[in-house]
Structure 1
Amino acid sequence: MIETVFRTEDVSPADRFGLWREHMAKSLCSMDVSSDHADDFRADMRLLQLGTVSVWSTTVQPVRIRRGPRLIRRSDPELYHLTLPLRGTNGITHVDREATHGPYDMHVMDSSRPTEIHVLDGPEPARMVGLDVPKALLPLPVGHIDRLLARRLSGHEGIGALLAGFLTRLIQDTASYRPSDGPRLEVVLVDLLSALLAQHIDADGPLASETHQQALTFRIRAFIRQHLHDPRLTPPAIAAAHQISLSYLHRLFQADGVTVAAWIRSQRLERARRDLTDPVLRAAPIHRIAERWGFTSDSHFSRAFRTAYGLPPGEYRLQARTAEERPA
């Protein structure tokens, strides 16, 4: 788990808005931002990176945020953004829907779709918490999630209240968590968000029977991604967790031309490759990175990595570092 904090009060008034805008774009995604308070802008942002999922909180003066086709083409992290307003009001235009959301009116947006957000004027700066989840982690058909984009998802009751409470507690009390807690917290957040969306989808009408197999495949793949750190993640364990036969599990993956074991290995290797190129993890021993993603044998990890990427892990890390340090 990696935490970063940015406060405009730590820099000069002339630099505040520009630096905050750059920080938002770097931490979340590219966006056009403007504000009537740009001359002396006041905001803060706390970001927790929990593996592939991130949680953030911000207190901010009124701003206008736009993410149009040009910025989407330039960079798309392929995320679903859930926003939980705690104070103030947001006006949103997304997927041809317009909505206004106040405190505890949670709402989801798709980073691949044009978006306009107005954080509106109020007696105090707006406060909100956000959750960014890769689309591939959610075990629900995209078409069903699309129906919920920009709509109000109450944070006052039921699963919504559980998710809202978990997010606010998590962002307020970061000191009690250890770096190794990141994957565990990621699993809880993805499960809560998935449950919330599924509840609202069911309220609109249950999943059609023809989408059941697709939904099951998405759910299994999300389960695998969430448990990559567990060396006990095997096809029999996955089948048991989803109450299906091992042969049926293999048939689901054969439809995509890959075995279950090969898909698990490729996902673990990709996470390890990303960590090897991460400057924050530069001092982490390679065997610790391998263990983090479920590899129990150093020699097996090294062979598999070389087969996938053409270099042993140590040489790959050195090459990535050399490229990063090379003058532009």
Structure 2
Amino acid sequence: MGATEGARGQARPAVSGCASIDLPSDPTGQRSILRLAGGEGLRAFAGRARDGSEQDGFRAQIVAGRYGPVDLCALRYTPHQLASAGVNFGHSYPVSRLLIMLEGGGTVWIGEHTIELGPGGGALLPGNLPVRYEVTETSSRIQLDLPADDPVFANHLQDVSLAHWQSRHFALEGLAAYGQALLRYDGSKASWAERAQARRGLEALALETVASAPSLDEVSRQSPRGFALDYIRRHFADPALTPQSVARAAGVSLRTMQRAFTGERSIAEWIAHYRLDHALALLRDERLSMLTNAEIAIRSGYGSTTSMRRAVALATGYSPTTYQRLHASAERE
């Protein structure tokens, strides 16, 4: 599907901050590339300037492509202000926008929330709330518009409607690197199977990123146990996560937090459970078969490949490589 076509066979909508005017396709027909400059370019970008020098000096480069149901953009721009183009960022269907900052930063106002974004940070923004952006320095970001009514994303986006990663996160970095590679790739030389694999890879990484999203819901509304389980689910991939760090994040003593888990798995056991469950899921996913054991260990929060091997062997009786091979064989039968 060409980059200027819609996910449902319609023309690409005017999307504020990504494709606010029709984007010309490059010779491969897989991407759209646009460079904007000055006041005219700023207006085409649907943005505004705080003063004349900011307007005259405005520059933006947009590279956009569509991969299955996902709109993917890489943007680089000078300072400006921007308001979203109506609901769902200009799409005619429900959308959540996933932002990953590569360089620079800015401020996002959405609903009653203010989100400060810096290098490596990110945000998941629902399309049903008004959004404003302000950028005070030259910045670049990767952006994905995820259809909230698509079967691949629907359940996950219902669970996490608004999120903010304040600092670098392995899922954000992996998705950003994959997205940049896709937009640099000459799709005209790819087979149908290669394009399908690229799309599935993007979807899998986007889902993994959404699953890691730290919610903006007020912590005070949760019990210590409820907060701890939610926090562990979102941060298990951090090898520095410990019962002590969970208690600190909840604002309670370690003893208080431990009492909340009396008679069941301990906090440390819950951390181990989520890490193992994620590692096994990655090993079973044929779309991610290119990942090494070391990469899976990092994504699952293990401090070393040895730690992951020990956990997988204890739970399954097999090494990670053998477990992956046996599961792949069972799927083919």
Query: Normalization by structure 2: what TM-score?
Result: 0.49
Query: Normalization by structure 1: what TM-score?
Result: 0.49
Identify, as 1 or 2, the structure richer in helix: 1
| Relative contact order, higher structure (CA 8 A, sep 6+) | 1
